[in-house]
Amino acid sequence: MSQADRQRPARSGVCDVDSKGNLCFMTATARTRNEGARDPRLTAIERACRVLEGNYCNEGNEGQSPSLAALAADAGLSAWHFHRVFKAATGVTPKEYAHAHRARRARAALENGRSVTDAIYEAGFASSGRFYEASDRMLGMTPTQYRAGGAALEIRFAVGLCSLGLALVAQSPRGVCAILLGDDPATLQADLTRRFPRARISAGDRAFEEIVARVVACVETPRLGVDLPLDVRGTAFQLRVWRALRDIPAGSTASYAEIAHRIGAPRAVRAVAGACAANPLAVAIPCHRVVRADGELAGYRWGLPRKRALLARERDRESGK
């Protein structure tokens, strides 16, 4: 256990993450089965989550979420105490929890082939204007593009050679959307296609080679970071994890448990590992800096030898070697 873990007070998280990385809340039955007796406050927080999901995210309730005071009164706590306990339990505020649930409903509706209009109301938006205002943040693209699996999204890519093998760099109109490491160009391109199944993917031109060169330079010297606009797409939970990873200084590491604590979801250690594995931007989002609690290297989607090499480079640079 790290010194940070020893100094950090124990927290009772009840937040979990589903198979797609979406924030969710364990049911009372599952929680009790897994951990025995429940803290009554956690039962109250779970009930508040159900209220937020049922009331705030239903059609016609746009902007009419239960007030913090009402939620707190139902939990038998003061508003200040309720807000604190809710965030300690879920890692987010009540408002953030409701927004995350709304985004999940919108994504689910579009992925299931529902029309954009249906998705608007199933996610709880009272008007299309509000939905389209939030769609870029929720989906990373227009609702129509998301429903079509990224159709009409223009992505350019190229594969460059680096000391770790090959690096595929892809860019959308918003910024670099993928940095994938590997040994086989066809495998890397297949991974890119899997991530954007219906986007219009084309080879980058000569000018794009400069972007690839800048990314490769960061792979060779990872402490520099990628000084390019990024198009980061993921679930609310994944984005929280990835932001925390970018806060790890070069030459340092953090355990999966430490990252879970930092994002306010201390029991979501396995989900943090899953978010690291889903990271589409090698080095730019430095998931290579996450290790096991004992300091040993754990899985890395691009192979442990690459993870070891990246950490060694950062360590040597920081020590002046």
Q: Is the Cα dihedral 8, 223, 214, 202 positive or negative?
A: negative
Q: Which of 49, 57, 177, 287 is catalytic?
A: 287
Q: State the pairing for strand pair 200-203/175-182.
A: unpaired
| Sign of the CA dihedral with 19 first, then 24, 30, and 34 last | positive
CB 163 within 8 A of CB 220: yes
Q: Helix 128-139 vs helix 94-111: angle between axes, to the nearest 10 degrees?
A: 90
Exposed/middle/buried for 10, CB within 10 Å: 0-12, 13-18, 19+? exposed
> Strand 165-172 to strand 175-182: parallel, antiparallel, or no bridges (unpaired)?
antiparallel
Is residue 177 part of the annotated active site? The answer reads no
Tokens representing residue 101 in the block: 């649930």
Q: DSSP code of 200? A: E
The three-state secondary structure class of 128 is helix
> What is d(CA 148, CA 130) in angstroms, rounded to the nearest whole number?
21
Active-site residues: which are they?
287
